[in-house]
Structure 1
């Protein structure tokens, strides 16, 4: 067990200890200022909105402060589902999918050990207040899951990509299949396209993806366990985590398929655990990828990506690494996307379209 996982277990053990023998769930902190302090730490200005002529420094959420307030409250003063939900949110931003798993395990432990005394109080005739934090997680944090990075930046000053980026790329590619001419100009400004997202996956260290897949498997299991417990405790009144569970499952499926393609072996829990353990020993001790003849198309592009990364470090002055990276990117694109990057003149693009008779075909399937 690595240090972070061990630390998470210790945190959960502390947070699940009773506050006192007489009041195991402690007191409600809803009106003592704790909720307000957490809300202020969480508060974040929408970065997409214009500030007009009176520009001020925009407020960013302070997830570490949020985490500290929630930890102190849950360990020493209260057992509160809403505060635990906010802690899950902070861990999501600070620790990614591993934080999601820890947050879900915490919620399960609180419901299992403190159900009768847990805050918000469970009213016999009106369970809505007790269920509201779970419904908030399902509604609000399902979107936040899609913002967790799934790739690492492979260029200085570059960006990482998330599941939200993948959904956007797929959406615009599907539109292009229906009307490639109308969307040609719009697609030139989309970042990422499906091709650039797949390139970022290929250029991200495989051990990172192994860890992400394992964390996702554990998070899906934790979500399923929490839902089952809520169903047992509340019956027909149980809140649903369906949307949250579905998003986790969709991300896990995407990343499992990506890892499967890179490894050329079926992705199972055991294989992923062995992969992570091997990668953790370091590149000097183990060669994760086998040498010898190229085994597949995915293997060929992976080797090109590795070569580009090596050249960018050993010959940073040379354009070769950038050209190889561009070739890898094109390998994940259809002909339409490649031509958009090569040909900037609209008239020339129309002439190519006429010569190749692309307009009468499903252009995104050519290449």
Structure 2
């Protein structure tokens, strides 16, 4: 992809062209992106599932950015399409393009602010950052036939390993019924050349650098009102640590240092250990500080979304969602939601000095 062509200003009254939100071209891209969830039961009326046409998404978005419009919505769709068609290298190029578009065209890029309100722009960026966690999880971690396994598969292997550790007497049955076993993942990883891991980790490093560049641009324009980049960054950091670890284990002694905290990403390789080996805790790589209450609640919801996708059986998604919901309540609202006994509620309200939606100011309690 020639980034230089996509970054050239358009000819006409506006260097960013026209807003094409309601155009047939936008509808065409949306239709190309659409796909039917293969996990859903079709019931009695079975029809051919709609598959996304990612090459068409890339082609259409490239043409729009080069000749018709400079638009954040088109740019984030292009990032998605590049990740789907070219893996982590495409993700790196997509982030880089988006960072440069925002840096060069922020005053004029579509969608334009509505009387200073940047909500549409923030919405597009927030969507991409949330989607990035899922895209990174779906990137390949093996490159051997017949099956190519991803980060999602590795999470499933880890879940099988944990289940065996909890129920060692049932290990044989658990492994027999598992759709993917640690041994199968190990075999695919062992058959993957070290060069694949080295190349993939280098591209993932480029993606992380480009994501950081994008955040610097966005923070410069939006400040505390901008979206959180932390979840996307942590997903890439974990991917890099996993790929470099696999490269070293595959015999690539020249694999670069991870640049992450000691042990970061160890948990990602649980599926490649014997199933009776306890799983160490995974240190969390340091990220930027949360700058606002809104960001904190948004990150709780991102955590919930991640666990719903990767570990639907886990209570973490439910608890994170509930914590985010509670975070939007006043103290009185929260008490009334969690304390069912009226007498107890009244005594707690009296003790805390909270009554009828307010906090006492008479100095008592």
User: TM tier, shorter chain?
Assistant: 0.5 to 0.7
CA distance in 2, matches of 1:268, 1:97: 17
**How many residues are treated as equivalent by the alignment?**
265
Is residue 257 of structure 1 aligned with residue 245 of structure 2? Answer: yes
1:287-302 equivalences under 5 Å are none
Match of 1:127 in 2: 118
- The change in CA–CA distance for 1:107 and 1:165 in structure 2 (over 3 A counts) is same
- The change in CA–CA distance for 1:205 and 1:102 in structure 2 (over 3 A counts) is same
Match of 2:28 in 1: 37
Does structure 1 conserve the Cα–Cα contact (< 8 Å) formed by 2:147 and 2:188? Answer: no
Query: Which range is displaced more, 42-51 or 67-76?
Result: 42-51
Match of 2:192 in 1: 204
Does structure 2 conserve the Cα–Cα contact (< 8 Å) formed by 1:165 and 1:192? Answer: yes
Does structure 2 conserve the Cα–Cα contact (< 8 Å) formed by 1:146 and 1:164? Answer: yes
Q: TM-score, normalised by structure 1?
A: 0.67
1:34 positional shift: 2.1
Match of 2:147 in 1: 159
Match of 2:174 in 1: 186
Stretches of structure 2 that go unaligned for 5 or more consecutive residues are: 259-271, 278-365
Can you list the C-alpha shifts for 1:126-159, whole angstroms capped at 9, x where unaligned? 21111111100111231122112221233xxx21
Stretches of structure 1 that go unaligned for 5 or more consecutive residues are: 1-7, 271-330, 337-367
1:117 positional shift: 0.2
Match of 1:61 in 2: 52
CA distance in 1, matches of 2:6, 2:87: 20
1:13 positional shift: 0.4
Does structure 2 conserve the Cα–Cα contact (< 8 Å) formed by 1:195 and 1:332? Answer: no
Can you list the C-alpha shifts for 1:72-110, whole angstroms capped at 9, x where unaligned? 110001110111000111110110000001110111011
1:174 positional shift: 1.7
1:123 positional shift: 3.5
Does structure 1 conserve the Cα–Cα contact (< 8 Å) formed by 2:164 and 2:276? Answer: no
Query: Which range is displaced more, 196-205 or 217-226?
Result: 196-205
Match of 1:171 in 2: 159
Match of 2:256 in 1: 268
CA distance in 2, matches of 1:96, 1:107: 17
CA distance in 1, matches of 2:69, 2:257: 36
Root-mean-square deviation (Å): 2.3
Can you list the C-alpha shifts for 1:189-228, whole angstroms capped at 9, x where unaligned? 2243333222211101222222111111111111111111
Query: Which range is displaced more, 141-150 or 174-183?
Result: 174-183
CA distance in 1, matches of 2:192, 2:231: 28
Q: TM-score, normalised by structure 2?
A: 0.68
Is residue 116 of structure 1 aligned with residue 107 of structure 2? Answer: yes
1:114 positional shift: 0.3
3-state DSSP of counterpart to 1:18: coil
